[in-house]
Amino acid sequence: MKFVDEFRDADLGRAVAGEILSLVEPGRHYKVMEVCGGHTHSIYKYGVDDLLPSNVELVHGPGCPVCVIPMGRVDDGIALAHTEGVIFTCFGDMMRVPGAQGTLLEAKAAGADVRMVYSPLDALRIAKENRDREVVFYAIGFETTAPSTALTLKRARAEGVANFSCMSNHVTIVPPLRALLESPDLRLDGFIGPGHVSTIVGARPFEFIPADYGKPVVISGFEPLDILQSVAMVLRQLAEGRCAVENQYTRVVPYDGNLRALEVMAEVFELRPHFEWRGLGFISHSGLRLSEAYADLDAERRFNVPGVRVADPKACQCGEVLKGVIKPWECKVFGTACTPERPIGTCMVSSEGACAAYYNYGRFARDREVV
């Protein structure tokens, strides 16, 4: 297949749906977690779940980097943005994430110089154009995005851009998956593995899931047929009584990942002992900070960052949504007090967030009728 249309072909989709139907046992309920927010978005945008039997449930995992940022880190960013002389740069969705002190968008309205960028390289360009100002890049994302930040920091070093620094909120995918698998209130049958994270890390880091927990993992692409085929591959493993890491997204993901990207990440970053995840709490070795070699470009060392810790809002059930314990519409404030225009929880902020995906594509109305 060469073109987008073929990956969205309805007849092919129905054929895979038929295959899925043939793989499930009547009376057994299957829960398959899609780890990545990009998959969540595709599932609801294209109605992939409408093609699944009623006993195959897709559970939305913690793979949206905006959704897992805790409120305290947002407040730290806002404090940095209000620092005199600072131009604060971040990705667009991050600007609407609420901390206890409001959002970065509100900080901008209050006078802070907050600018949206599409790439860390854009932030570096702003630094080169404003040598009399300090430019901070607020970095978020999994292993897909971390190499981009790392290359930008290497470029800043090479080009001598001394007024550029980075506040790293980068996270890694394996520790939260292990935490989820250890969670007593979670029952999953298998995983749809993240596509572009795996472009960087490869498929090998997920081998612990079948080895230690006996569950299948299928690395998946993002088109509707990719996801349907991946669900079928998970169900086929279950039907055959085996579990392994399989790669549906072979057109992009090499089994060993991108070694050059892993090298540059290892040079620029080091693991934090602990990092807080929204709704999941502190997870060991799950966050990346700048290594000692790049300490001079670390905004957390260059500036006085408060380092506050703020508990999640009581009304918000993002944590249970992220763990797949409840569906978004089961949250007490979903669609009422919490909407994409006025989000309380981070899952409603980014369109990759499970709550926003449900809300934007009208899924909550149908699901509520079922209940």
Partner 1 sequence: MSDPPPEACAADHCITCNDDGVPMTVLRLDAGAGLAECTDAEGGRSAVETALVDPVWEGDRILVHAGVAIASLPAEVGP
Residues contributing to the site for partner 1 (CB under 8 A): 1-4, 6-7, 36-38, 41, 45, 63-66, 91-96, 105, 108, 116-122, 140-142, 144-145, 147-148, 151, 155, 194-197, 199-200, 221-223, 251-254, 258, 260-261, 264, 340-341, 350-352, 360
Find the shortest distance in angstroms from Cβ 90 to partner 1.
Answer: 8
From edge to edge, which strands make up the β-sheet containing 164-170? 113-116, 86-90, 134-141, 164-170
Find the shortest distance in angstroms from Cβ 6 to partner 1.
Answer: 6
Cα 249 off chain centre by? 18
The nearer residue to partner 1, 120 or 279, going by C-beta atoms, is: 120
Cα 104 off chain centre by? 19
Find the shortest distance in angstroms from Cβ 176 to partner 1.
Answer: 14
Which amino acid would we find at residue 86?
Answer: V
Cα 151 off chain centre by? 20
Residue tagged 């509100």 (tokens): 106
CA torsion, points 69, 74, 75, 77, in degrees to nearest 10? 130
The nearer residue to partner 1, 77 or 238, going by C-beta atoms, is: 77
The nearer residue to partner 1, 6 or 50, going by C-beta atoms, is: 6
| 320 vs 117: CA distance, rounded Å | 31
The nearer residue to partner 1, 146 or 243, going by C-beta atoms, is: 146
Cβ-based neighbour number of residue 284 at 10 Å: 13
Find the shortest distance in angstroms from Cβ 29 to partner 1.
Answer: 27
Beta carbons of 64 and 353 less than 8 angstroms apart: yes
The nearer residue to partner 1, 38 or 243, going by C-beta atoms, is: 38
The secondary structure of the chain in percent helix, strand, coil, rounded to multiples of 5, reads: 45, 20, 35
Find the shortest distance in angstroms from Cβ 121 to partner 1.
Answer: 5
Which amino acid would we find at residue 270?
Answer: E
Find the shortest distance in angstroms from Cβ 72 to partner 1.
Answer: 19
**Closest among 69, 149, 18, 159 to 353, alpha carbons compared:** 69
Q: How far apart, in Å, are the Cα atoms of 74 and each of 98, 106, 168, 333?
A: 7, 12, 12, 21
The nearer residue to partner 1, 186 or 262, going by C-beta atoms, is: 262
Find the shortest distance in angstroms from Cβ 171 to partner 1.
Answer: 12
Q: Give me 235's structure tokens.
A: 């169900």
| 245 vs 217: CA distance, rounded Å | 5
Find the shortest distance in angstroms from Cβ 242 to partner 1.
Answer: 27
The nearer residue to partner 1, 75 or 93, going by C-beta atoms, is: 93
The nearer residue to partner 1, 2 or 314, going by C-beta atoms, is: 2
